[in-house]
Structure 1
Amino acid sequence: MKLRTLVISLLALLVGTGVQAQSLADAEASMEYYLPQDVEYDESIPTPQEVLGMVPGEWHVRHDQLVQYMHAVAEASKRVTIHKFGETYEDRDLVYLTVTAPSNHQNIDQIREEHVALTDPAKSGELNTADMPIVLYMGYSIHGDEPSGSNASMLVAYYMAAAQGQEIEEKLQNSVILLDPSLNPDGLNRFASWANTHKSKNTVADPNSMELNQRWPSGRTNHYWFDLNRDWMLVQHPTSQGRIDNFHKWKPNILTDHHEMGTNSTFFFQPGIQSRTHPITPEKNQNLTKAIADYHAEIFDENQRLYYSQESFDDFYYGKGSTYPDVNGSIGILFEQASSRGHAQESEHGVLKFPFTIKNQFLTSLSTWEASQNLRQEILNYQRNFYKQAKEAGEDADIEGYVFGTDDDQARTYHLAELLRRHKVDLYDLNQDITVDGKNFKSGSSYMIPSDQKQYRFVKALFERRTTFTDSLFYDVSTWTMPYAFNLPFAELQGRDYSDDLLGNKVDGLPEFPNGEVLGGKSDYAYVFEWDEYYSPRAVNRLLEAGVRVKVASKPFTGVTADGTHEFDYGTILVPLGPQSVDQEKIYKLVQKAAGEDGLTVYSVGTGLTPNGIDLGSGSFETLEQPSVALLSGDGASPYEAGEVWHLLDQRFEMPPTLFPMDRVERADLDRYNVMVMVSGSYDNLSDRATKKIKRWTQNGGTLITTKYANNWAERNGLANIEYLNGDEESEEEQEVTPKPYADMSQARGAQYIGGTIFDTKLDLTHPLGYGYNDEDLTVFRNSTLFIKKAENPYATPLYYTEDPLASGYVSDENLEKLSGTAAVVVSDVGSGRVISMTDNPNFRAFWFGTNKLFMNAIFFGQTIDGGSGN
């Protein structure tokens, strides 16, 4: 008998019946503790200890160690291959293992092609699922500070590569496992460094220990502090984009998503709260999830684990790892393990040790694999029927297709098209100009999506406007209507509006980024371009950084261009060639770059005289300063929202902000910045001296941008002249309290929370914050109950909610009434400076392209807002 098997067998004898002691206190970092005792293991497959010098749970694994171990297993085992599919922002490798029987590896491409064909209604009827392998995607620790999953992935990889026996061989023959050991390498590494750095020789379980209390922004998020478990549908980050490519390359039947939750919890597995399941998800999906849950319950009962299901979590938002599969013919399963957060922590169930949490993730990986074998053909048939029924529903749908796009901003149109194609949505160029519901869509700048396609359910989920719900509580947002997020005109096509003749060329792969041009070639007088395009800020910043003088028009005009005349709107950018210290040839190359890389149409202008409106030498053209942005960061500020600003400026506009620690404000030179951003937060950590310094800086001409609850700080400290809406005072009779059942309290309170809803607003297109917009109707995203009254100065509220503002999502009647007609943005005068108070987050999760412009206008044009217009 092999030595490794002998050790495990001896341990089994020591514990009597072979059932290991399962209390939290008995957990230990040893392979004997983790592994099943009735299996022999191939000694040619290295253990984590043999490769890394440690057993999982002894230390927190770093990402480089995790990848090192996965390479070692793949090299040693004929059951395993390893694939690199990308890199993170911090240049860490994204990898996954393919685990299956060696004979399957020999024709793995054919297996994959046949499996994917199961999702094609035109081919799937010919396939026999009786002998078809089931495909599992096992993903671990998308939140970096929930590390038990990634640490367990080493055990899963070892077990699948090394375990011997006929049962194991049959499972491998009947399945293909895609094992993704770290869904968030940057966050995992950040947290491992923290936990290992603060680990004592003798384990400390005191919840007050520094090891168990991370510093801001924590290891939960990626490099830019985004929650990647909200990005599966949004695909704004390279980790998500690569992962979604893998998903659609294989179309897995089951996807496991391993997480952690509060230390005093136990273990959760799906299905979650049934009343909150998205109505587009088939009932069969939830029934199969329940059937799989029986296997988790069985293995946890055997191991004396506490657990629960159908509580706390839901399957509504399709942007999470456990729900994205549900709208793509798969079954997503969320696992939540109580977190030790470090190596051990006191809990109400005793001292919770890291190895105990790791083993639970390992056990549910095995129970999922077991369930997939026993339910294999039923799940494969479900996948086939899902796509067959989706296409049939699309064929019969009242809405026969969707059209979207604008020629005012082709970059936003491109990015929505890009998102759709990443999810394999059938997309076509619009073949001819059409007008629907008073909206004009032009061939060459618009796209068509027919409902008659296998991704119909996904398309419907992205385009629907839903305002009625069976439940008033949501674990995440209640809506995500994509055209609203991108501020793009769109229309639902029904009856006579739709025709197959509208379908132009089908978009294969990803669409091409729109090319701009310099109309008229090199100029001897000036270049002019409009602010409409999404990447206009990047072009202007590039010019300013090169020392080029740039102006913005505060009034419209008619310009004389090389091909005649053109109507230019508020916010048009002027690059005059006369008063410049930069060589004209360099300026021309910069505007060529703006046309090519930023998608701008730049006009060469040969004269300063205009037929209508202001001339190019008018004082209504205001000189711009290059923004120098300080983003206040640290405890008190939302790391998510700070990260969204950082990502927006750094990744999209190539103008990185200074991540400014709050404790440096009182001793730093603020004069090197002209814009300061305070995202939602409390900011109680700012000292009186720091607060006075920010106020002085603003009075001297700075632009302070505050979002959501940062407005409270600004108002308290005399920087924002805003007034909150608290509701009308009730009469004594109306204040009488009616007793209610205690059991209803959580539901009633939760119903008053706005977790993520889309609303209609009106925008002043003549205001600097409205530059580049062409429609006063703007949809915004809101996830707070912060209500601000319109300013007393009639010019100080450039954006406000309509009287009937609900566009999509859930809001209580009480909150809808409060919100109606209130301010979305208020501008305050503070000396020579401006404070721009935004009630909402215009950069939510990096996919609200439509309101990004509002934020960028505050950065670039806040300095130009007339002092008399502030509150």
Structure 2
Amino acid sequence: MYHLRSLILFFLISCAGTLFAQVNLSYYLPEETFDSDIPAPADVIGHEVGEWHITHDKLVQYMYALAAKSDRITIMETGRTFEGRPLLLLTITDPSNHAQLEDIRTRHLELSDPEKSKNLNLADMPAVIYMGFSIHGNEPSGSNASLLAAYYFAASTNPQIKEALKNTVILFDPSFNPDGLQRFAAWVNSRKSQVLSSNPENQEQNEPWPRGRTNHYWFDLNRDWLPVQLPESQARLKTFHNWKPNVLTDHHEMGTNSTFFFQPGIPSRNNPLTPARTFELTEEIGKYHAAALDSIGSLYFTKENYDDFYYGKGSTYPDINGGIGILFEQASSRGHLQESDNGLLSFPFTIRNQLNTALSTLRAVNALRVDLLEHQRDFYSSALSGSSAENAYLASSSDPWIVYHFARLLETHQIKYSVSTSRQKINGTDYNPGETLLIPTNQPQYRLIKSIFERRTSFTDSLFYDISAWNMPMAFNMDYQTVSTKEMGKISAGESKKAEPPTGRVTGGKAGYAYAFDWNNYYAPALLYHLLDKNLRLKVATEPFNGSEGSQFSRGTLILPLGNQSLSSDSIHAIVERAVSEYGVTAYALNSGLDLEGKSLGSPSFKSLESPRVALLVGDGVNSYEAGEVWHLFDERMKIPLTLLPTDRVGRSDLSRYSTIIMVNGSYGSLGDRGKDQLRSWVQQGGVLIAVKNAVSAMNGMGLGNFKFRSISNSDSSKQRSYSDLSAERGAEELGGAIFEARIDTTHPLFYGYNKERIAIFKNDKLFLEPSTNGFANPIIYTKNPLLSGYISKSSLEGLQGSSAIGVGSSGQGRIIALTNDLNFRAFWLGTNRIFMNAVFFGGMINSGATR
């Protein structure tokens, strides 16, 4: 009997697998008539939606075919991904609106201008929806549903849809993440069986590292709406601010055993800078999603699990820009069919839910159109009235690239600023012309400005779906403060204009003896690698010195002597001129090596540099986000070759090819005994090993360090507690991401280029490193009161106080640098990138007397 039941179950699952593959438009779409001149998806892509996972090339092909046949659609390319795939934007609306689209857009933008918005007649204005799909590539039901949604909007003959499109402009992005979508589709399609397997252990449902969630450099694009460091995000934000939509939808997937989620999120986790009316409207819109899902019998939930706190997410960024962000989370089949707690979950079923909530969004926006337009107008009008608390922010850096990148960030978010033209001392801080940005708060984007600059340490809820702090001046290591009207009057500022990249130059003309390059420049590592790659010999100053013309130089200054080089002085000058122009770094011509008051250029304090040969360990167990951040930093910004070395190859690789090996956060069991032996031997022979977070523990286990971490315990752990509070209490002990103050030793090679003893560090883990008993081996220590912004539990804060952020050890001739933080966080923590690059270029010169 047991075998008979098993056979029946197998037969049913096999039949279900075949059945779920045989879907057509009638499964997805309402019973309506459609324009026969408009091609259905299968007419173009060659299969029914849901039968296979759509590849990005076919998705693009269909969208262009649809636009060519429909007078309701125009299409354009807004940008390209790192892999060169087009980012598409369809504008979907009634043909009569297309005829006056620019006038509609211009008038809609006036809602964000308090001077103009009060005269607008909202009754005859269309609302704007931005529909975006599958920002995580392995959450594909969104992009697959976009085929059906676009077809429905183009082909439906329903009079209600025609009327809705007269009242609405839909900005339609069928794939927020083309590279990730393509990577995932290739995996599942190439492993699909004719008789679908629903077994969660099946290879189809288990994609390999680094998976398709992320873009080319393994970034989570749904965390980049505020930092805007990636081309996909830059294209999205340009579209967003070109229209300022009333509603933005963001279609995602979650765990297979879940159901379907739509916002609002957990009320106690709403960002307090977001007006209450935003959440009221979110809830009103949610009623339309509920009705749509009720009509097809799909399970769903709301006001649980997810929140509206971090403005860097697509569903939250609109909330601080006068719109409403809506997150959809569909339980994922991950392939074409999978067993779940709620029965067999088919890929077509996930697509149908996404489609229905896309359609219910259109219904909701039409019903609430005037309310949404009024909310947008009120949002910006009230922002001006709330800006009196601070009159302006000043943000300053002596690094022109930091100033430029910060200015570009402000421009992306439509924030007005100006550049100082005079030198001033305000509240004890010197602000130099050209190095200081003045950001007035009396502008429509006041709430977003407040979010970018605020320091928040008090919260209603102690749980966060994402990070709890993102102060951008701290991330860029900028001096900043708020200033009053009186202090603003002291500052001369130029007219607001678009930021331009710094232009490098050679100060002093052609050098007679050497060139010096200041290391206090974000792209100095790129310049250094470029010059070393030209077979030039360079040195770094480990002590301050004076130039031949009376100029002063700090530790970390690069020296390019003209003597004993393989190239002539004329050739070197030409190389230097081109290099400083390309990287925006200033070079100083020196005509003598003599320094009667300090270190002459032939001093042993100048250390010779070699071109780094760097490998980054990748593969199973390695945190792909953090690995991608390193890859992006080297490849896109610093233009330094980087080998992505799989962990399971280390044991059979020639590690002598590398001077530096990087192990980001992760577990490294896949190294195997042979790989661990190889690493130990390589370090002892002089290699520099950089280990980050949990990789430090893995390194300890290999016998490559003795880095001790503090254990944090709750003294009341045995006290009886309510079972219902278990998740909340455990969640409150997590450190999702906050900002802390640390004291640095600016004389240490890891901190060349830093001129202040305190720095803001981002931390999202509970690894608290005990300081070394050797005081010279503690280059950075958290202060006694380290919390600058964000949430941390009391017990964790006590563990962090006075702990070490970086440990330096040695083994044989090699050096081991243990980092307890992600110094390259999401590509926007520019202020600590230099520490990481210092470890690469200068780690090997750290004196053994300053190691553990």
TM-score under structure 1 length normalisation: 0.95
Residue 230 (structure 2) pairs with residue 240 (structure 1): no
- Give the match for residue 3 of structure 2: none
Answer yes or no: is the 8 Å Cα contact 2:264–2:283 preserved in 1: yes
Question: Which residue in the other structure is 1:534 paired with?
Answer: 522
**Distance change in 2, residues 1:331/1:677 (3 Å):** same
Distance in 1 of aligned mates of 2:317 and 2:596: 55
How far did 1:640 drift? Answer: 0.3
Matched with 2:830 is 849
Answer yes or no: is 1:30 the counterpart of 2:24: yes
Map 1:734-745; keep pairs closer than 5 Å: 737-745=718-726
1:585 aligns with 2:599: no
Q: Within 1, Cα distance between the matches of 2:717 and 2:277?
A: 47
Cα distance in 2 for partners of 1:787, 1:24 equals: 53
SS at match of 2:233: helix
Q: Does 1:323 align with 2:316?
A: yes
| Greater CA drift, 594-603 or 169-178 | 594-603
Q: 1:24 to 1:146 in 2, by over 3 A?
A: farther
Q: Separation in 1 of the partners of 2:319 and 2:711?
A: 40
Give the superposition deviation at 1:599: 2.1
CA distance in structure 2 between the aligned counterparts of 1:96 and 1:735, rounded to whole angstroms: 55
Change (3 A) 1:750 1:558: same
Q: State the partner residue of 2:203.
A: 210
Q: Which residue of 2 aligns with 1:8?
A: none
CA distances 1:705-750 after superposition (whole Å, capped 9, x unpaired): 011110101112221221111148x9xxx67821000011111111
Question: What is the alpha-carbon distance in structure 2 between the residues aligned to residue 211 and residue 503 of structure 1?
Answer: 63
Separation of aligned partners in 1, 2:309 and 2:325: 12
1:613 aligned counterpart, secondary structure: coil
Give the drift of 1:429: 1.1
CA contact (8 A) 1:28 1:356 kept: no
**2:769 match:** 788
> Aligned AA for 2:391?
E
3-state DSSP of counterpart to 2:291: helix
Q: How does 1:803-818 map to 2 (within 5 A)?
A: 803-818=784-799
Picking from 634, 655, 659, the partner of 1:670 is: 655
Shift of 1:619: 1.1
TM-superposed deviation, 1:495? 5.0
Counterpart in 1 of 2:496? Answer: 507
Instruction: Summarize deviations over 1:128-159 as a string: whole Å, max 9, x none.
Output: 01010000000000000000000000101000
Shift in Å, 1:393: 1.2
In structure 1, C-alpha distance between the alignment counterparts of 2:117 and 2:22, rounded to whole Å? 48
| CA distance, structure 2, for counterparts of residue 74 and residue 495 of structure 1 | 53
Counterpart Cα distance in 2 of 1:836 and 1:140 = 41
Whichever residue aligns with residue 420 of structure 1, its letter is L
- Alpha-carbon separation, structure 2, partners of 1:727 and 1:667: 39
- Say yes or no: does 1:305 pair with 2:298: yes
Sequence identity, in percent?
50
Moved more, 129-138 or 602-611: 602-611
Matched, 1:100 2:93: yes
Deviations 1:412-454 (A, max 9, x none): 1111111111110011112432223322111211110001000
Q: CA deviation at 1:770?
A: 0.9
| Residue of 230, 237, 259 corresponding to 1:266 | 259
CA contact (8 A) 1:678 1:707 kept: yes
- Who is 1:712 aligned against? 697
Tell me the distance in 2 between the aligned counterparts of 1:854 and 1:247: 35
2-structure distance, mates of 1:255, 1:493 = 35
Partner of 2:755: 774
Indicate yes or no: 2:488 matched with 1:498.
Answer: yes
Q: How far did residue 23 of structure 1 move?
A: 14
Do 2:516 and 2:589's aligned partners in 1 also have CA atoms closer than 8 Å? yes
- SS state of the match for residue 754, structure 1? coil
Residue 343 of structure 1, CA deviation = 0.5
In structure 2, what is the Cα distance between the partners aligned to 1:502 and 1:43? 65
Letter paired with 1:677: I
| Pairwise CA distance, 1:648 | 0.3
Q: Which residue of 2 aligns with 1:572?
A: 557
Counterpart-to-counterpart distance in 2, 1:645 and 1:660 = 13
Question: Is 1:111 aligned with 2:104?
Answer: yes
What is the match of residue 550 of structure 1? 538
- For residues 62-120 of structure 1, the C-alpha deviation after alignment (integer angstroms, 9 at most, x for no partner) is 10100100000000000000010110000000111000010110111011000011111
**Correspondence for 1:699 among 669, 684, 687:** 684
In the alignment, which residue of structure 2 is the partner of 1:419? 409
Match of 1:225 among 218, 237, 240: 218
Deviation at 1:590, TM superposition (A): 2.5
Q: Which one of 623, 642, 646 corresponds to residue 657 of structure 1?
A: 642
Which residue among 145, 162, 175 is the counterpart of 1:152?
Answer: 145
Q: In the alignment, which residue of structure 1 is the partner of 2:804?
A: 823
Give, as a single letter, the amino acid of the residue that structure 2 aligns with 1:764. D
Say yes or no: does 1:45 pair with 2:38: yes
CA contact (8 A) 2:516 2:588 kept: yes
Structure 2 letter corresponding to 1:415: H
Contact kept? 1:25, 1:353, Cα under 8 Å: no
Change over 3 Å in CA distance of 1:742–1:632 after alignment to 2: same
The 1-side partners of 2:136 and 2:570 are apart by 49
Indicate yes or no: 2:441 matched with 1:447: no
The correspondence for 1:524, drawn from 512, 522, 529, is 512
Match of 2:449 among 443, 459, 472: 459
In structure 2, distance between residues paired with 1:29 and 1:514: 57
SS at match of 1:565: coil
Q: Following the alignment from structure 2 to structure 1, what is the Cα–Cα distance between the partners of residues 681 and 20?
A: 60
Contact 2:545 2:598 in 1 (8 A): yes
| Paired residue type of 2:496 | V
* Contiguous gaps of at least 5 residues in structure 1: 1-21
State the shift of 1:591 in Å. 1.8
| Partner SS for 1:245 | helix
Counterpart residue number, 2:783: 802
Q: How does 1:279-294 map to 2 (within 5 A)?
A: 279-294=272-287
Separation in structure 1 between the aligned mates of residue 527 and residue 443 of structure 2, nearest angstrom? 39
> What's the CA shift for 1:33?
0.5
Aligned partner of 1:352 in structure 2 is 345
What CA distance in whole angstroms lies between the structure 1 residues aligned with 2:578 and 2:462? 49
**Alignment partner of 1:748 is 2:729:** yes
Does the alignment pair 1:179 with 2:172?
Answer: yes
Which whole-Å CA distance do the structure 2 matches of 1:495 and 1:246 have between them? 35
- C-alpha distance in structure 2 between counterparts of 1:335 and 1:387, whole Å: 26
8 Å contact kept, 1:400–1:495: yes
What residue ranges of structure 2 are gaps of 5+ in the alignment? 1-15
1:387 aligns with 2:376: no
Task: Return the match for 1:161 from 142, 145, 154.
Answer: 154
Q: Which residue of 1 aligns with 2:623?
A: 638
Q: Which amino acid aligns with 1:546?
A: K
Q: Does 1:477 align with 2:467?
A: yes
Q: Is 1:276 paired with 2:269?
A: yes
SS in structure 2 opposite 1:811?
Answer: coil
* Cα contact 2:17–2:198 (8 A) shared by 1: no
Asked whether the equivalents of residues 436 and 491 of structure 1 are also in contact (C-alpha less than 8 Å), the reply is no
Deviations 1:537-559 (A, max 9, x none): 00000001110001001111111
Cα deviation, 1:544-579, whole Å, max 9, x if unaligned, reads 11100010011111111xxx3111111110000102
Alignment partner for residue 599 of structure 2, among 593, 603, 614?
614
CA distance in 1, matches of 2:451, 2:492: 22
By how many angstroms is 1:28 displaced? 4.8
Q: 1:27 touches 1:356 (CA, 8 Å); kept in 2?
A: no
TM-score, normalising length: structure 2: 0.97
2:344 partner SS: strand
Superposed CA deviations along residues 338-396 of structure 1, whole A, max 9, x for unmatched, are 000000101111110000000100000000000000000010010011011112212xx
Matched, 1:487 2:481: no
